[in-house]
Structure 1
Amino acid sequence: MDFSAILDKLITDIAALAKSTVKNYATAAVTDAKQFIQESEDKLKRWTLLLANKQLTTEDFEWLVMSQKDLAKMEALKQSGLAMARIDAFRLSMLNLIIDTVFSAVKI
């Protein structure tokens, strides 16, 4: 499994998500998403490998990713003036996208 390919796909898909959900703030959203992925990369890689080796259930993986919600600070979006409700919605969509992308890569 090529984890760097998963990360590349995540960045591409998150950019598309940002353009469709927070259009005028897409640049800030992508900046925040990249920051989150960079800070979480080691954990995501470890969890993905555990999932692929069937040492984690899908429920465990989802819980672990969602537990990182508070680490996705979205500072650039906050500074841009986007409403907190929309920031929270984007953050949740981003975390779900991470889960779906990993499940797809691991063939779950």
Structure 2
Amino acid sequence: MSKIDFNQIEKDVATLATNLFEEFAKQGIKDGKAFLTETQDDLVSLAQDRAAGAITELEYQNGLREVRVLAKMEAIKQAGLAQVTIDKFTNGIIDIVTKAALAAM
């Protein structure tokens, strides 16, 4: 099993924030890092457990829903960004961590 490159995950999240939020990139990066700190371990476990067949697709999807609830994204909400864009950012972070977790298997 390879080691997950958490520094690369943070860089990818910063790039995502910059691409989605442009002038609000600083707020997006701040919120993205907070979300990573809170959920990264859970996302890695979910992805790897699903890939190994330890949990069903339904259990995996339920786990992702629980993780999404933790996305506060306070700074970008205060900036007045649309919820659709915030959801796109949250899902993008989940995708970044999931891909890194699977690549490390």
Provide the TM-score with structure 1 as the length reference.
0.73
Q: Which blocks of at least 5 consecutive residues in structure 1 are unaligned?
A: none
2:10 corresponds to 1:11: yes
Distance 1:59 1:100 in 2: 16
Cα offset, 1:59, TM superposition: 4.0
Match of 2:86 in 1: 87
Code of the residue aligned with 2:75 in structure 1: it is A
Kindly indicate whether the alpha-carbon contact (under 8 Å) linking 2:50 and 2:57 is maintained by their aligned counterparts in 1.
Answer: no
Cα offset, 1:103, TM superposition: 1.9
Kindly indicate whether the alpha-carbon contact (under 8 Å) linking 1:62 and 1:99 is maintained by their aligned counterparts in 2.
Answer: no
Q: Which blocks of at least 5 consecutive residues in structure 2 are unaligned?
A: none
Bigger RCO (CA 8 Å, 6+ sep): 2
Match of 2:3 in 1: 2
Report how many residues are paired: 103
1:27–1:51 CA distance, 2 compared to 1 (3 A) = same
Kindly indicate whether the alpha-carbon contact (under 8 Å) linking 2:17 and 2:28 is maintained by their aligned counterparts in 1.
Answer: yes
Q: Deviations over 1:52-107 (max 9, x none)?
A: 7x25368468523343111011111101121222112211222222222222232x
Provide the TM-score with structure 2 as the length reference.
0.75
Q: CA RMSD in A?
A: 2.6
List aligned pairs for 1:93-108, cutoff 5 A: 93-106=92-105
Kindly indicate whether the alpha-carbon contact (under 8 Å) linking 1:32 and 1:77 is maintained by their aligned counterparts in 2.
Answer: yes
Match of 1:34 in 2: 33
1:78–1:17 CA distance, 2 compared to 1 (3 A) = same
